Amino acid sequence: MSGVVIVVGGGIVGASCAYELALRGWRVTLLDASRVGGGCSQGNCGYVCPSHVYPLARPGTIAATLPLVFRRNSPFAVRARLDLPLFAWFDAFRRCCTEAQVEATMGALHDLLAAGKARYEEVIRAEGIDAEYEQQGCLFISKDEAHLDHFEADNRRMTERFGYGARRIDGKSLAAMEPTLRDGLGGAWMFDCDAHLRPDRYMAGLRAVLLRRGVRVCEGTRVVAIEGEHGRATGVLTESGRMESDAIVVATGAWTPELARCIGARLPIVPGKGYSVTLSGGQQLARRPMVFEQHRVAVTPFRGAVRIGSTMEFAGYDATIRDERLRLLTESASLYFKEPVRATREGAWFGWRPMVPDGKPFIDRAPRFRNVMVAAGHSMIGMSTGPGTGQVVAQLLSGEAPAFDPAPFRIGRRMG
């Protein structure tokens, strides 16, 4: 099946859906309120990481995170205010912190992550997108050896279940692998399975591919409603008029709750604000991607630049860039490198991660309209999982068998 389809939202998820639908013969219009790749898919850390199968909601997460809420300038922050959806979100998150939920979620995320990485490699090769994609692995670095031990059981569990895990690297070998790191660090877990790319480059490349393949790209076009009757959507209402279509994909990331009501869905998605700084002044900090687990900071090397990203702030749709949050990134990273990390405001960026309590996105038909697909809520791993999501959305709309089982991603599932 094919026809006219409107994709709302031009982040990695929506742009991947548009691409996959265009490949299948759909006449695609991609609408974005700002610009393609201008949301959370722009300045993130670019990890394409099958290693990230563990959800944030796990037994012990709340006890470990609660002290951070009360610490000044901590990587995790909640802005105190009356926000009922956020209270409900935290309550659902609390319910998801069980072993049974972790066990089920890991399997679902594994499928989504594996599909995402495989699809990146195919699309980049087929379309010739230069996004600095490389499989150099990812180092999860600990300041001390005792912290390194914590991951031993988790590593065994994922290796037994999925057939891949990490190699343990001692402090001395780590220093030889990454000579810019300070001496005396505890060591690292090295995930050879992980790759990385430069997200802004990938998004620019994919936008050009979409135009080449005949997709109509309308930027600066905000959708305010989805209209229809008798269980079928007939089109979208934008700020500048109505557009008709046979099918619609809603891929609006952290903004999705705004449109959810008109498609009959209640989606527990809240914005989880994160920051990054990109240093392009020649300071070559790292040879390969690395995460400083104890300070929750991620570092990604690009061609002639390096990006440092982190922080999780539940502050609603607050769009200010705070100097103290940026300083937290560079000061935390400086604890691990021999040279202090210097950043300017020029390379500063923030994005709203579309956070879902159980860590799984919604990939499903809308309750009110059978011809509307929702693809939103990719939380902390949307850059990795966007291409796999796009593939499955296009397969479902086109009546093909999906590349992985979409059942764990259904709308209305129980959280916890």
Ligand X SMILES: Cc1cc2nc3c(=O)[nH]c(=O)nc-3n(C[C@H](O)[C@H](O)[C@H](O)COP(=O)(O)OP(=O)(O)OC[C@H]3O[C@@H](n4cnc5c(N)ncnc54)[C@H](O)[C@@H]3O)c2cc1C
Binding site for ligand X (CB under 6 A): 8-14, 31-34, 38-41, 44-47, 222-223, 251-255, 258-259, 274-276, 309, 351, 353-354, 376, 378-384, 386
Among residues 296, 288, 272, which one has the least CA distance to residue 192? 288
Q: How far is the CB of 45 from ligand X (least distance, A)?
A: 3
Considering beta carbons, is residue 175 or 216 the nearer one to ligand X?
216
Q: How far is the CB of 145 from ligand X (least distance, A)?
A: 26
Give the total residue count for the chain.
416
Considering beta carbons, is residue 148 or 381 the nearer one to ligand X?
381
Q: Taken in order 36, 41, 44, 45, is the CA torsion positive or negative? A: negative
Q: How far is the CB of 361 from ligand X (least distance, A)?
A: 8
Q: How far is the CB of 118 from ligand X (least distance, A)?
A: 15
Considering beta carbons, is residue 108 or 259 the nearer one to ligand X?
259
Q: How far is the CB of 409 from ligand X (least distance, A)?
A: 13
Task: Kindly state the helix (H) or strand (E) to which residue 61 belongs, with its residue range.
Answer: helix 61-70
Within 10 A of 324 (CB to CB), how many other CB atoms are there? Answer: 9
Q: How far is the CB of 304 from ligand X (least distance, A)?
A: 19
Considering beta carbons, is residue 149 or 239 the nearer one to ligand X?
239
Considering beta carbons, is residue 19 or 47 the nearer one to ligand X?
47
Using CB atoms within 10 A of its CB, is residue 412 exposed (0-12), middle (13-18) or buried (19+)?
A: exposed
Distance, in Å, from the CA atom of 52 to the CA atom of 65, rounded to the nearest integer, reads 19
Q: How far is the CB of 61 from ligand X (least distance, A)?
A: 18
Considering beta carbons, is residue 186 or 253 the nearer one to ligand X?
253
Q: How far is the CB of 170 from ligand X (least distance, A)?
A: 26
The pairing of strands 195-196 and 187-191 is unpaired
* Beta strands in 171-325, from DSSP E residues, in sequence order: 187-191, 195-196, 216-219, 223-229, 232-238, 241-244, 247-250, 270-279, 290-292, 297-302, 305-314
Residues 6+ apart with CB under 8 A from 19: 123, 206, 209, 210, 213, 215, 390
Beta bridge partners of 306: 279, 301
Distance, in Å, from the CA atom of 213 to the CA atom of 21, rounded to the nearest integer, reads 11
Considering beta carbons, is residue 47 or 302 the nearer one to ligand X?
47
Q: How far is the CB of 144 from ligand X (least distance, A)?
A: 25
Considering beta carbons, is residue 291 or 397 the nearer one to ligand X?
291
Angle, CA 63 vertex, CA 59 and CA 67 arms, to 5°: 155
Considering beta carbons, is residue 186 or 277 the nearer one to ligand X?
277
The pairing of strands 216-219 and 223-229 is unpaired
Considering beta carbons, is residue 13 or 123 the nearer one to ligand X?
13
Among residues 79, 124, 94, 132, which one has the least CA distance to residue 312? 79
3-class SS of residue 110: helix
Separation in Å, CA 88 to CA 95, 215, 267, 353: 11, 39, 11, 18
Q: How far is the CB of 274 from ligand X (least distance, A)?
A: 3
